[in-house]
Structure 1
């Protein structure tokens, strides 16, 4: 203070009854420097920085740390760069419980060892912990299912942070929540994928005709939240007959593999011999055959019983580009 007792910038005047005590007003920032996630929790690295308008060197003084769980400890200021003072890096842990975690730093220097006093300041940093996000997919059950026959569904799960999900349990439940199948994911990722863990589940198709919806539930596992995926399929009565379709190249006559052959609501893929067998009901229908590099083929049919059908596909003209 000056002789008139006016407070100067960055300092406050406190009185002990006879003498005015000069106290600097510092600034404190508690910040997160790094975050490392792992299965079941996360490690955070914090650091506390104290600065003073008068560029005070505060090394050797302490910052009081408190966590939201009630833990308290002191961290010494160990570095000064001429403007800011820093503690060492402070390692803290969160998890496995989901929720908000916080830490509060408090600094106050009474001015021992010839230093001017610094008033109390606080700073808080928070972190919301959630298990790693898991994506869950189902496929393979989109085709019609026959009443009472086995339905097979394939399941794939992946953690956004690349965690191992091998051995995680899952359930398949119907629209009413009744469990119809259960299992665990593969111990190793599916070949050719980046961390996709797979499994198959099978159960009997319901007796009621129509569309049925199911939910795959991947149970909470090793720090990961529960994940869900839904799928649906059509349940029909046993078809009355079959159609064997043989797909070949119109010019060369050789069989075409991997052609998709459909007769609503059935879809099949030809094997290396160019053959596919489709269920069918007596009546009218439209057969569609699609293959890469070939023109699509549509045929109107009147199905009267089991039959064999030959389909020759014409190659698409080559794109020679502009001259």
Structure 2
């Protein structure tokens, strides 16, 4: 094969790799456009308009529900996002790294042992498990504060009308006529269901399945392992990661599209105004996340992991 022919073949192969993604992207755009057109048409129908009037998109909160976003929720939100980004990145590395560059063995075996011997795990898995622990500790503090302060009423459905209101909010989003936002007082029904699913369903599933796949799982408990096989944990754990990834993307997009300054002030500055403080804190948090992702590589992880265990190739 001549050099010119080989070059043409490589160019052809390179071009063909983009055909399928381009087709899927075009199909997605067409599908989204069809959804918007259908939703806008539906909103012109009299029964749908009556439905939207009856169910505006949010449920009424109990009279004793707290108003406003407390400061602790701001730093909890940042820590949760910070750890979650690192968890998703390290989890993907664990899944895709065929030959780890380094391994970690714990000095004090504790729970991390296999058949009485210290478990030898990849550096990527060590980092993933370490960030998991920090994320779970932060989540435990968050849940305690939710129930101590009464803020749980903002993200836990307290009325069955949450479901028709969620349908109403979804129709409003789909028609690109956003639901009326007043997140300082009350989230819309779709937000409530999404936040409830993240905190009380997805997070526990991620934790339980993660423990099942980790060296911390008691290998000598045959009945327990049979009741919860590792294959089932794997089938749940990865889709949960995809759910978190999709939630983060959609969450950030809607925050920026439905009144960015006001939303960011609620989330990061515990303020109800449209100033730039929340945006500044958000920007600083992005810098920290990007820096953490950059530093989360073997060159920088080895010294930290070496404090708690032995690093080997």
Class of the TM-score when normalised by the shorter of the 2 chains: under 0.3
Judging by fraction of residues, say which structure has more strand.
1
Structure with bigger RCO (C-alpha 8 Å, 6+ apart): 2
Judging by fraction of residues, say which structure has more helix.
2
Structure with the greater alpha carbon radius of gyration: 1
